[in-house]
Every structure is written in C-alpha cells, then in structure tokens.
Structure 1
C-alpha cells in the first residue's frame, strides 16, 4: 500500500497522535510520500522524522498512490484537493483539531480508523466541485472549488451589486456584501454561516446564498447542478474579491464570472460506521439536549 500525506501545521494536542500514526504506518510497511513543508514541520516542531519513500512540493510532483491522508482541519483538506485534482485518488481527512466536516476522523478515532482503512473497511464517496471560467484563469491553474465560490466587496465601503444569470436567463440583482455559490459539500461551510440550507452531498444541487443582502425578502436559492451561472459584479470601488474555497484574488468588476459543475469529482474515504447524518449529529451537536 502506498499513501501520500499532506498537512500544514497543528497544535501540541495532536503531537502524540501524529507519532502513533507514523508508528502504525511503519509497522504495516506502508510506503509513504509526504509533502515536504509538512515533513519539515514534523522534524522541527514535533520531533518526528518518519521514514518516507519520497517527497512532493507541488501537485505535479504528487505520485500515484492508493490514497492521500490530509492531516489538519477542513482548510487543510481543501488544500489537499488542489493537489489531488482529477487523479481520482481518494482523500482521508484526519482532524488534528476540534471541528471538521471534511476532516472528520478525530484524534480519538484515529487508531480504529487506521485499522479499518488498512483492512479496506471503508467506502469511497464522490463529491462534486464547481468550475470557474473567465477570460483568464483568475486563481492559478486550478479554478475549481469543493466548497464554494464567493464574491465579496473589497473593503468596508458600500455594498456591491451582483447580477446573476442562470443559463443566460436573468435571475436577480443582489445588493449585498457578497454572494456565495456553493456545492452540497459546502452547504455546511460558509453558506451555512450566513443562513444557507444544509444539503445532502448527493442532492445534485447548487446553492446561491447572499451575504447580508439589502432586501430582506431575498433568501438562499437551490438550483439543479446542471445549470451554468453567470455573475456580473459592479460597485463604487471598481473591484471585488473572488474566492475559491480558501484561495482569493482581487478582480476588476469588468470581469464576468461563469460557474458550472466540474466534469470530475473528488473521492473521499468514508468509514463504514460513519455517515452524513452521524456527522451532522456529531459536528452540529444535534440532539445534544436533556430531553433527548
């Protein structure tokens, strides 16, 4: 078995768990390829020098492996996706902190999860992405998002206006601080924090959620994911912020953004005793009431 490990940094609370992780991989003779900056962090901060078969520092150096372990939070998982891209390599999310929907294996569950993965006791789920197209590639060479595309006003100035078209038919002009276009996976991320609905990962939908809209009757809208969206933004500042997951760029308001479902998916490893519903209960503390 060959795996790649991607990570950034984490707190001392996960140091012992990290040692346990690499001890287990070594005992099972699993071949490891590791993100070089993460290896440096382990060596300098965690006092850990794991035996590895090789390093990678960019998406183009990622070897073909059986799966990628993302160690960190959901932000780290989203960055791991930019390395995996359309290779189809399944991603395992190991949470080194407290809350994570994508990095959903907690440090307490790590020993059991490693055993299950090594024995093949898991399922692979496919998650859809959004693709951003524009006259030029705005955010590097990977204009895709697993969670959401968002547009924001650039500073604390007046709100912006986002004109939205669905399959070239005019939908609405949103007067707001911004707008989020989300996948079902991203429905529990930024979109949820501004009042968007929670969507099942298999719902084949796209969510349009305004950020602090001026018209209080404007509400989030769910549309089929086979529709293409066009965003035209205008505001006094002449520029706005566009972000794909955690990556952002300043864009001139003359730039037209087109968003559609990507033609590939991201594979994630889901434990057999884990489900979207149990994740909701655990992460959002549903049922955490004395009456239940």
Structure 2
C-alpha cells in the first residue's frame, strides 16, 4: 500500500497528534509513505517515522508514485491545496481534521485509528466531487487551472467596485455592479458563496452557483445553473487590475483578460465514514436548523 501524506507545515501544538498519526501508520509496516517535501522539512528530527518513506514535491512526483490514498493533516484548506497535487490521478483523499471547521476534513482526532482500519477494509464511503475549470486568455494558474470550491473575480484592496458582465453559453446574463462575483461548485456552496448569501447545494446536484459579492443592486440575488454550461466574463472598473481566484490561490488580472468557467474533465474523490454524510455535516458544523425548541 502506497500512501501520500500532505500538509503545509507542522505546528508546534500539533506535534503530539501528528506523532500519533505516524505511530498508527507504523502499526502497518507494509504501508509505504510518500511525504510532501515541505511538510517533511518542517518536522524533520521531531517526528519519528518507522515506515519506509520517500518525499514528493510536484504533481509529477505524485503521479509517478502510483499511490493508493492521499492523507491530509490539517483542515479544509489543506484538502484544497492537496487537490492541486492529486489532480486527475483518481487517488482518493482522506482528510484528518487538525484545523478549525473540518467540513471536508471529516476525520476527528479521536477517530484516526478507526478510520485507517476502515480504509484497510474498504469500508469508507467515496464521495465524488465536481471541480471548476478556468479557461483564460493568459495562463494564469498554469496547469493547475481548476478549483474544488470556487472561482472568484474581485476588486483589489480599497478600489471602487467593479462591473462584471456575465454570459451563459455566450448569452448575456447580467452586469454585476459589485465588489466581485463567485462561481461555486456544490462543494463550495458551503464556503465563500454561503457567507455572501448563496444557497447550500447538495454535492451531487449537478449545479453551479453565481453569487455576487456586496452587489450594488437591490434586485440582484444568487442564481443556480446547470453545471453543463460555460460561464464567461468581461470585467471593467476604474482600477487597472483585479483579482482572479481559484480556491485559496489568486492572480492579478487586467480587464483585457478573457475568463470562462466550465465543469472540469475530472473529479476529486473524498473518503469519509458512513456516519459523516452531507446532512450530518451541515447540521453539526454549520448548525443548520439549530433551534432550542428541538432540545
């Protein structure tokens, strides 16, 4: 069994817990580990590793290893970054939650050993998640031009609002006078889009959401579209540059840059226990429907 371990860096307060993860992996000496190089550099000499291991740095390294699973140690942001290495390999992601929310990284600290056993037995549920793919007139994000959560066009700093002319399959939809606009996948519906008033969408619903950020129009609301459309944009404003984001990654763009979003050709697979489905997570993590009269 070949397992990738991905995280950004080791936080001091997480050292004991991370050691417990490696101890649990050591009880499976037949597992061969592939550790993200920057993460390994952050804890080298402080964490004891008993399994045979190698390090990887790039997507190409990840692909060449022919891995069976990618375990992330962190929060939801760690999973979003791991997706840029996993890409279209089909390697499932198992998120161990060491962050704050843990909406995508569903494995709590006390369930690490239990979840590794479930993975060994093939008892974890596979959640297939749609990604967004960006097409642009300049290679803004190189080959990592996709996002699990959302794409956004935003004004920079304290500049005045922007006007984002939006088209669906080439047909004019609306001109958004706003601080920006978000296109979210169903997975991203519980993220940035939700905080801007967007709806919650079930993971396999086959939809995209367009959510304006601080719109200057009282009659503009989020809209849900089928995910088989192409959404394109033209941006104008008083500033020379704007921001374009894919999940937590961003680039500065000019108004002349042509942008379009469509469904990605590949999907991401998230692993979860059977008792941690989407309904459980929105009730537990987002407190959906919480009312003192129910208790």
TM-score calculated relative to the size of structure 1: 0.95
How far the C-alpha of 1:188 sits from its partner, in A, is: 0.6
Determine the structure 2 residue equivalent to 1:149. 151
Deviations 1:258-289 (A, max 9, x none): 11001110111121222011111111123554
Structure 1 ranges of 4+ moved more than 4 A: none
Contact 1:14 1:107 in 2 (8 A): no
How far the C-alpha of 1:10 sits from its partner, in A, is: 4.8
Q: Match of 2:144, SS?
A: coil
More displaced, 110-119 or 157-166?
110-119
Determine the structure 1 residue equivalent to 2:4. 4
CA distance in 2, matches of 1:168, 1:287: 39
CA distance in 2, matches of 1:122, 1:78: 20
How far the C-alpha of 1:13 sits from its partner, in A, is: 4.1
Unpaired stretches in structure 2, ≥5 consecutive residues: none
CA distance in 1, matches of 2:167, 2:253: 19
Contact 1:125 1:268 in 2 (8 A): yes
Note if 1:226 corresponds to 2:228: yes
CA distance in 1, matches of 2:100, 2:12: 13
Contact 1:5 1:35 in 2 (8 A): yes
CA distance in 1, matches of 2:267, 2:211: 23
Deviations 1:107-165 (A, max 9, x none): 12223222212222112111001110112211132100110000001221210000000
Superposition pairs for residues 1-292 of structure 1, below 5 Å?
A: 1-29=1-29, 30-43=31-44, 47-51=46-50, 52-62=52-62, 63-286=65-288, 288-292=290-294
CA distance in 2, matches of 1:288, 1:162: 36
Contact 2:148 2:188 in 1 (8 A): yes
How far the C-alpha of 1:8 sits from its partner, in A, is: 1.0
Q: Match of 2:89, SS?
A: coil
CA distance in 2, matches of 1:128, 1:35: 25
How far the C-alpha of 1:75 sits from its partner, in A, is: 1.1
CA distance in 2, matches of 1:278, 1:129: 22
Q: Match of 2:88, SS?
A: coil
Contact 2:133 2:263 in 1 (8 A): yes
Q: Match of 2:173, SS?
A: strand
RMSD between superposed Cα atoms in Å: 1.4
The number of residue pairs the alignment matches comes to 290
Unpaired stretches in structure 1, ≥5 consecutive residues: none
CA distance in 2, matches of 1:41, 1:106: 23
CA distance in 2, matches of 1:17, 1:120: 24
